[in-house]
Structures are given as C-alpha cells and as structure tokens.
Amino acid sequence: MAERPARLWPLTDFPIFISKGDIVCKDSCIGRFQKYQNVGRAVAKKFREFLSALTKSKACKPVNSVIKALAAPLILIAIAQEFSRDAVKQFLLDGFLTQPLRWLFQYISPFIQQVGTVDTATWTDVHASSILVFFIAAISLIISIVGWCGPGGPAWSFSRIFSPSNKLPTPNGPRGCPVIGSWTLMQGSEMHRELARQAWAGGPSTRNLMALSVGTTLIVLTSDANVAKEILRSAVFGERPLKQAALDLGFERAIGFALQGPYWRHLRKVAVTHMFSHRQIVTHSELLQRETLRMISAMVHSIRTDCVKDYRVGLCARPFLQRAAVNNIMTIVFGRHFDFGNSCDEAEALEAMIREGFELLGGFNWADHLPLVRHIPFLSFSRRCRNLTMKVRAFVQSILDERRRCHHQSHSATSSVLNTSFVDALLSLEGDQKLQDEDIISILWEMVFRGTDTIAVLTEWALAEVILNQGIQARIHEELDAVVGSNRLVQQKDIENLPYLQAVLKETLRSHPPGPLLSWARLANEDTQIAGCHIPRGTTTMVNMWAITHDSSVWPNPEVFDPSRFLKSEGGSDLDVLGTDLRLAPFGSGRRVCPGRALGIATAQLWLASLLHHFSWSQDLSHPIDLTDNLTLSCEMASPLHGCPTVRFPL
C-alpha cells in the first residue's frame, strides 16, 4: 500500500501537488479558474521569460532560487498592470493557483529538495492560504530591502526599477523606511523646518529638488525660489493632488481642486469677474469695517467685564480673531452674520462643522498614499467626511433656498449685504455660465474652509511680533495717530497711507507664512524634467515657502523680525506678495494662485490697524508669548496668543 504523502500545510480546499519539480492542480481547482485562463497564460508567459533570464545567473543555485522566488510576486504585479483592471482583479483574487504559481514553485522546489525539507518526488498538497501568507511575507521582504537601497524611499526605488529607460537622473533625497517611506519627515508640527534642514544639509541639489515618498506617493520638494517659479508656472503642474478627504467632501468641483479644463477655466473666470475683482473688494469694505468693529467691541466688553481696578487684564486673542474670521467669511460668502456670544445653536453647529473640516483636510490620511487603506474603516476618514458633507449640504442648501425666495420677492426690503454676497453673485449667473446647486455648494464651502483660518492666523502672528517688539508698536501708533487720529475708526482707504503697517504685515508673511508647505502641492500630469531631473507622471511637487523665506542667501538675518526690509525709504524692497516674486509668495503663484489673496491681505491689514489703533498691547506675564509654530491646515501659533490690551481711544 502506497505511503500517504506528507502534508506541508493542512486544511486545504484547493490542493496543488508538487511532483518532479512541477506543480499540478486537481481538476476541481483548475475548473474554478477556467474563465481566467487567457489572462493566466499571458501572465505566465511573461513570467516564464523573466524567470528564464534569472536562470542564466552564475549565483549559487539555492540562493538564486530563493531570490527568484522572492522577486516573483512583485514581477507578477508589474506584469499584471498590462491587462484590464477587471481581469487583473479577478485573476489575482481567484487565480492565485494558476500558471504563475506553477512556475514559481518549479523554481522553489530544487531549493526545498536540497535542504531536505520535503521530497519533491512525492505528492504533497499545499494549503492555499499559506501560499498567500508566503506572498505577503515575500513582498514585505522585497519592499524592506529595496526601500532602504535608494534615495527618496521605496516609491522612488521602485520607480527607478520599473522605468530604467529614462536617461535623466531622479532627484536625490533621504532614504526612507519600508512601506511608509519618508512619513517620519512628513509628520510633526514643525515638519516644514525639518524638511528645510534636510534640504540645506544636502547641498544645492537637494535644495533645488529633494525626493521623498509616502507609501506609493512620489514627492519632490523644492526650497529654491527659481525652481519654485519653474514648477508653479508650468502647465505640467497645473493640477492639485486630490486628497481623499477633499474628494469625500465634494471639493473636486471647487476652484482649488477641479481638474484643468473648460469647467475649471469657467470657475476661475467667475471668481475673478464676480467675486474677487477690485470693484467687489471695494464693495466689501463696508462689510469688513462692520465685522472689525464687532470684534473690537467684543474685546472691549471682555476687558471691562474682567477688569479689576489698577490691574491689567490678560486677554486671549485667538477666540476673538477666529470668530471674527468666521463671520467675516460668512458675511462675504453667504450674507449672514452669526452671534457666537449668545448660545446660538446655528452658530455653534457652524463652528463645529468648520473645526471638523479643518481636522479632516489638515490631518494625515494613509488612504491618500496606500489605496488599500481606503477600505479599512478605522484607518480612513471617509465615514466622517460623508457625515460632514451631509451637514454642509443641508446648511448651504437652506441658504440657497432662502436667497432664491428673497430674489423672487420684488417687494422684499433686501439689504446691501444680500446684494453683494458671493452666493448672490453665483445665483445671478445665467445661460452658459449658470452653475448647478452641487457646484455652488462645493465652491462656497471650499472658500469657507480655506479662507476662515488664514486671516486669523496671520493677524495673530503679526500681533504677537508687535507685542514682543515694542519699538515697532510705538512706530505703528505714531503712524496711525498721524493718518487716522483719535476721532474716527480706521477705514480701508487709510491703509495705503500706512506704509509701515503694510511692511509689518509683509514681514509677518515672511517670518510666519500661513501655508508654508501643504497648500503648495501640485501634481505632474505627465513625465517632465525640472532642474535637470526626471519627474515621473503622478509625482506630487511641493514648495517649502518657509525654507525660501528663511534662506540667508535670499533674506539676510532671516530670524530677525525687521519690517524695514519692505520700506524703500530705508533701503528695503517694495516687494509684491501677490505671487509675482517667488521670494515671498505666501498665497501661491501661477495657475493655482489663491483667487482671494487680495481680499485676504486687505482684511488682515484692516484688522491689524484697528487692533493697534484702539489698543496698546503688552505681554501677559502669566502667559508668555511662545513663537513655536504648529503646522496643520495652516501654520498657527502652538500656544494661543495672550496679551494685555489697554484702550487708547474709546469706540
């Protein structure tokens, strides 16, 4: 009676048998994969060619066999990319035991026989799940080895392996870890500083372009103004990488993330003509003045409420700035004002939605870099994004319906706010310019998310530097007293006569750019070259504006807060910060420049002038000012600003 064959892995439903260096499947197993035989044969043919080439190697036979076995899964995946997605998906799911595995085990079996693990002359059934485990282990080992072998991390290493025909070099960069790549460098509240140090330490080549990778994402980062200009003004880099959170929130139809094409060009035209034109900014000046006065009044009320005789009360500026920013953008976008101080349910719901939106858009999401993670609920933001999207759409749709009712009621006493808000501008479009409600919701809500925190963050940084530099504050007070006086409020038209205050704000943008890194991301839509390096299609390019504005070869003594850099009368430069000069372009440049940059700067100038006109500020010794930054969606102060304001002029 024949001896029962040894079983390597038990509990198998689809046994395959090793016999004389080959693998044979039972009829029941082969029949299951009959409909995928064409794909299987084609892949097996290419796979066989690769393995045959490896047999010519003079390496030690057992070692050679192991190398071939470990390389097989990755080569299989690379070859499979030549076929349709559906065919490959089904083949990989159901066809793990067809021709490719037959050839794989043919080359494994000599090694198994040599080390005496099993007699390949006997019949042995193999558990299919164990083969899958072997594949996963093999892939992990290959990634571990290759990931440490090249600059930029594993994604760049595999890019070089599978694109050997390119003659141009790829960018240099720090070595990455297996799978996660350069994730450790791309995390942390001060990653813009760490990336700048890495770029500077690597010399001119890494300052121009530094290769990084996270998961499967190829990234290049520049810390040079000239290279940044080349990238941002190139049509090849005219699109933004669409993060999973932005996609789930519906921003693929908004101005910032829409793909280049007729729809995107139409949105840009609408934004420039109807929303951010000079005429519109002048029209909004009254609204800005009104919201600024509310913010100052709230601060005065807080001081009087908490004031003790002969005692200077400390005040945390951030809540006042953030709520003013929300009301500022909501008034301009929707024509609505929210009273946050009186337990308004709608205001609290709005604040919660904006805060969650910041967390989702600014947070790191592995689903953006490892596609399989999108299907793992606890690692993906998709559910939170969908829940937030439903709330946002209901909120904005109610405003759209309200606006339409007002427009249809000719006898309605509509306020000037209603006639000048962005939502009214979009609803008034007709003919070919008319937009669907879904598009309007995406456009307006993107403006709320992207425009709310920038102004508050910028003003907080400027005020902190002014408090720390009392000489600068004294000079601003002198300028304000000469131009505005003590009998009226600061107005938008006064700003052009306040050059030193403008210089202070520019120096704040240089020292503390609100979006030093993440807001600069662009996507290469085809293979190209930058600074003599090959950049593959699909590469994410980023500009480290913080590194540029702190480069001593561009800005002498970059760590010193010196507004005179921007005063021509004192030997400085009257630099434009709207995107024409990449030495300081905090709001971007090129095709994807922020359309609301002029409105944002005008608002920050008015706020800073008003805060310093009405108050004299000093440090709150119980909460010393800490200039440590924290990079999330924007680069804000890690510790909220506390100061002791003293009223200079009554309202």
Contact of 128 with 96, CB cutoff 8 Å:
yes
DSSP at 311: B
Which alpha helices (DSSP H) does 57-168 contain, by range? 61-80, 85-94, 99-115, 128-147, 154-162
User: 545 is written with which tokens?
Assistant: 């504006």
Q: CA-CA distance, 465 to 581, in Å (whole number)? A: 24
Whole-number Cα distances in Å, 4 to 7, 13, 121, 125? 9, 18, 13, 11
3-state DSSP assignment of residue 159: helix
Is 344 annotated as ligand-binding? no
Q: CA-CA distance, 362 to 101, in Å (whole number)? A: 43
Look up residue 45 and give its amino acid. Answer: K
Contact of 521 with 240, CB cutoff 8 Å:
yes
Contacts of residue 529, defined as CB under 8 A and 6 or more positions apart, other chains included, come to 168, 535
Contacts of residue 20, defined as CB under 8 A and 6 or more positions apart, other chains included, come to 120, 121
Question: Residue 635: beta bridge partners?
Answer: 631
Bridge pairing between strands 540-543 and 217-222: parallel
- A 10 A CB-CB count for 377 gives 8
Q: CA-CA distance, 154 to 180, in Å (whole number)? A: 8
3-state DSSP assignment of residue 7: coil
Contact of 155 with 181, CB cutoff 8 Å:
yes
Question: Residue 644: beta bridge partners?
Answer: 618
Q: CA-CA distance, 101 to 242, in Å (whole number)? A: 37
User: 362 is written with which tokens?
Assistant: 């600014």
Contact of 540 with 557, CB cutoff 8 Å:
no
DSSP at 649: S
3-state DSSP assignment of residue 266: helix
DSSP at 308: B
3-state DSSP assignment of residue 469: coil
Query: Which regions of 313-440 does DSSP assign to beta strands (E)?
Result: 315-316
Q: Considering all CA atoms of the chain, what is the largest pairwise distance in Å, rounded to the nearest integer?
A: 113
Q: Which residues contribute to the annotated binding site?
A: 594
Q: Which residues contribute to the annotated binding site for heme?
A: 594
